Amino acid sequence: MIGFLVRRLGWMIITLWVVFTISFALMRSVPGGPLSSERALEPEIEKNIRARYHLDEPLMKQYLRELGNTLQGDLGYSFKLADFSVNEIIAQGFPISATLGIVALGVALSIGLTAGIVSAIRRQSLIDVTLMSLATVGIALPNFVVAGILIILLVFLWPVFPAAGWGNLSQLVLPGFCLGLPYAAYVARLARTGLLDVLSQDYIRTARAKGLRTPTVILRHALKGAMLPVVSFMGPAIAGILTGSLVVEQIFAIPGLGVHFIQAATQRDYTLAMGLVLLYTTLLYTMNLLVDVSYVYLDPRAKLE
Amino acid sequence: MSEAKSELPSQRAAADDLQRYEQLWAEARQVHGVSLGRDAWRRLRRNPSAMLSLTILVVLSILAFLTPALPLQSPRQVETLRSFAEPTSEHFWAPHLQTPSAQAEGTNDEQWAAFWRDVDLKFGKLDAIEKLLLQARVAVFGPYAIGSICGTDELGRDLLSRLFWGARVSLIVGVVATLVSLVIGVSYGAISGYMGGRVDNIMMRLVDVMYSIPFIFVVIFIISILSEDSIKAWLIDHGIDRITIFFFLVGAIYWLTMARVVRGQVISLKHEQFVEAARTLGAGRMRIVFRHLVPNLFSVIIVYLTLTIPRVMLFEAFLSFLGLGVEPPDVSWGLLANEGVRVITPVKIYWWLVVFPGIALGVTLFALNFFGDGLRDALDPKLKNR
C-alpha cells in the first residue's frame, strides 16, 4: 500500500514536471509577451522592467528560476488582472468551483444511482426504457444546450430560480444540475449494467435462498458489487466535471476558476493559465488516486499493483 | 480374369465414394459460410434503434453534402431589418438569388458574372464541387429559397440555412479529427503491443502519464497561443487554418484509449499461427503489424470510431461555445448554440436560437451513440450466429 502510494506520487511529480515544461516552452515561444501592448513602453523603461522580472536572462536560467518558484508554491503574478497573484486568484476561485463540483457530483451520483437501480430492478418495463432513453439524451445533449433550455423554462417562463450569480443556495441548483446531468446519465447506465450482472450471481441466489427480503438483498449484498463500474467511472467523471465547469460557470456567471481559465487563455495571461493547468493536473491525479484506492476497499479481489 | 474380378469391387467402391463426395459437395455448396461482416449486418438489421440511427445519419450526411444544391437562403448575409425574426411560414417560397433571366439587363455573360459576385457575398468562397452543386440548384429551383421557417438570428441571418451549413462543418470536424486520432492510436497501440518487452513498457507508461494530464486545458492553452496574430498570419501563409489545427489537436487527445484497446488485442493475437506463418515467409515487423494484425482489429476499431465521433463533435461544440473553435463567418452547431445562449435575456425569449441548434446536435449525437452501441453488440463475437 505504502509502496503503491509512493510510486504513484512519483509519477504525479513527473507528470506535473512534464506539464510545467510543455507550458513553459509554449509560453516563451510566443512572440509578444505581457509587455507588448498597443501602448508601447519607452525602450529604456521596458528594459528596466524586463530586468526586474528577469525576462532578459537566458531561457534556461529563467526556466530553472520559474521551476524553483513553482516548487515553493509561488505561481507568480497575473499578467492581466492588476494587483493579483496567481495564488490569490486560486484562493478566491477554488472554493467556489469546488462547491459547484461537489454539488454536481452529488447530483450525478444520487440521480444516476437511483435511476440505475430502479431500472435494473424493473428490467424491461416501461420505466426502465424511459429512464434509459432519458440517460442517452443526457449523454447526447451538450450541457450548454441543457443550460439554455433550463434557463428559458425555469428562469424566464416560470421564474423559480435566479438566472445567474453566486452566493445563495438557489443560485447553486441550476448550474449544479446542468453540470451533473451528463454524468448522472453515465452513472445510471453503469449502475444498471453492473447491478444486472451481479443479480445473476450465485451469492445473490444464496442470499435470497436464506430468506432475505429483496431490499436487503439489493442494498446489502448486490449494491456493493454493482458499484465497481461506477467507482471506476468516477475518475473520468471528475475530469469531465472539471472541464464542464468551464462552460457552466461562463453561462451562469459564476466567479470560479473556470471563468478565470477561459479569460486567461483568451487574453494570453500565461502565468495564470499555467498555474491553473498545474492545479487541474494535481486535482485530476489526486482524484484518480483516491478512486483507485477506494476500489480496493470495495473489491477484495483487486490488488494495488 | 481373376485380376479383373478382384478389381471390380474396388472400382465399385471408388464409384460409391465419388457419389458420396459429390453428394457432400452439393450439400456443402448449399451452405454458405457466414463472414463476420455479414453476420454483424444481419444482427444489426434486427436492432430497430440502431437501424433508425443509421438511417438518420445517412440522410443527414447526404443533406449536409448537398447543402449548396438545396434551396436555402444565405447563411451569412446580414439583414439587420429582420433581426430576431420569429419562425414564420410567411414568404415560404421567395426569390433569393440573382439568377440570369431574359427580363434582366445585360448580356447573359454579364448576368452570370453578377450572379457569381452575389454568390461570393452570400456564401463565401466555394470550391469546385460546391459551385457545381449551386449551379444544379439554380437549374432546378431557379432563384427561389425557403423562407425563414426556423427564424433569424441577431444579425437577421436565416437560421435554417445556418443549421445546414453548420452541419457540414460539425460533421467534417467530427469525422476527420476522429480519423486522425484513429491513425495515431492504432499505430501506437499496435507497435507497442507487437514489440512487447521494454519498448511496450515505456510506451504504455507514457500513455499513463498522458492520461492524467487534463488535455482539454492544454488544448485551450495551445489554441489561444496559436491565435496570436503574428503566429496566425504565419500559419495562414502556410495554408494552415484553425480547423486543421483543431483536427490535429483533437486527434492528439483522443488516441489514448484506442492505443490501449489495440495493444491488448494485438498482444492476444501476436502468437497466433498466421503471424508465425507471415514471419516464416520473411515479412518484416511493420508489415506484420500493419498488413496482418491491424486488419484483424477491424471490428474493434470501427466500434470505437462510431463512439469517438460524438465525443469529438461534442468537444468541437464545447470549444466553439467558448469562442475557441470554428471562427465566424464559418458556422458550426456549437457556434450556433453559443449565439443562442448568449442572447438569452429576460426581455424577450429567442427560444428558436437555442432549441433548433440543440435539436440538431442532440439528434445527431443521439443517433451516433445508439448506432455505436448497436454496432458493438452486433460485432461482439460472443453473440455470433445467434
A69 vs B194 pLDDT, higher one: B194
Closest residue by Cα to residue B59 from B360, B376, B347, B284: B360
Contact list in A for residue B324 (CB cut-off 8 A) is 265-266
Average pLDDT over residues B46-60: 89
DSSP 8-state assignment for residue B145: E
Q: B201 φ, ψ to 5°?
A: -60, -50
B346 contacts A26? CB cut-off 8 A: no
Burial (CB count <10 Å: 0-12, 13-18, 19+), residue A13: exposed
For chains A and B, count residue pairs whose Cβ atoms are closer than 8 Å. 133
Domains recognised in chain B with CATH numbers: 49-63+157-383 (1.10.3720.10)
| A-chain residue closest to B319, CA distance | A247
What is the value of pTM for the model shown? 0.77
Residues of B in contact with A152 (CB under 8 A): 344, 349, 351, 354
φ, ψ (nearest 5 deg) of residue A78: -65, 145
- On chain B, the residues whose CB falls within 8 A of the CB of A140 are 310, 361-362, 365-366, 369
Per-residue model confidence (pLDDT) at position A81: 63
B186 touches chain A (CB under 8 A): no
User: Strands, DSSP E only, in B66-189?
Assistant: 93-95, 144-146
B14 — contact with chain A (CB < 8 Å)? no
Please tell me the predicted confidence (pLDDT) of residue A53: 67
Mean pLDDT, range B12-41, rounded to an integer: 79
Q: Is the pLDDT of residue A31 over 70?
A: no
Q: What is the pLDDT of residues B198-241, one digit of tens each?
A: 998 888 888 877 777 777 777 777 777 777 777 777 777 777 77
Lowest mean pLDDT of A10-24, B69-83, B98-112, name the range: B98-112
- Candidate from A32-41, A282-291, B242-251 with smallest mean pLDDT: A32-41
Contacts of residue A262 in chain B, CB cutoff 8 Å?
220, 322
Q: Which three cell numbers stand for residue A182?
A: 451528463
State the smallest CA–CA distance between residue B177 and chain A in angstroms: 19
Q: Is the pLDDT of residue A82 over 70?
A: no
pLDDT exceeds 80 at position B13: no
**Residue among A30, A151, A284 minimizing CB distance to B344:** A151
Comparison of pLDDT for B6 and A248, the residue scoring more: A248
Contact across the interface for B349 and A152, Cβ inside 8 Å: yes
CB contact B310 to A (< 8 Å): yes
As a whole number, mean pLDDT of residues A283-301 equals: 80
- Write the residue in B221, B228, B354 that is nearest to A32 by C-beta: B228
Q: Which residues pair with B146 in a beta bridge?
A: B93
pLDDT in tens, B297-354: 877 788 788 878 888 888 888 888 877 777 777 888 888 888 888 777 666 778 888 8
Distances (CA, A) of A299 to A187, A302, B359: 18, 6, 41
Cα nearest neighbour of B353 on chain A: A148
Identify how many contiguous H helices and E strands chain B contains and give both numbers: 16, 2
Q: Per residue in A119-146, pLDDT tens?
A: 888 887 888 888 888 888 888 788 888 8
Question: What percent of chain B is modeled with pLDDT above 90?
Answer: 5
- Shortest CA gap A57–chain B (Å): 22
The string of pLDDT tens digits covering residues B113-159 is: 888 887 777 787 778 888 888 888 888 887 777 777 787 877 878 88
Kindly tell me if the per-residue pLDDT of A32 is higher than 60: no
Q: Residue A155 — pLDDT band, cuts 50, 70, 90?
A: confident
Whether residue B212 lies within 8 A of chain A, CB to CB, comes out as yes
Give me the interface pTM, i.e. the ipTM: 0.75
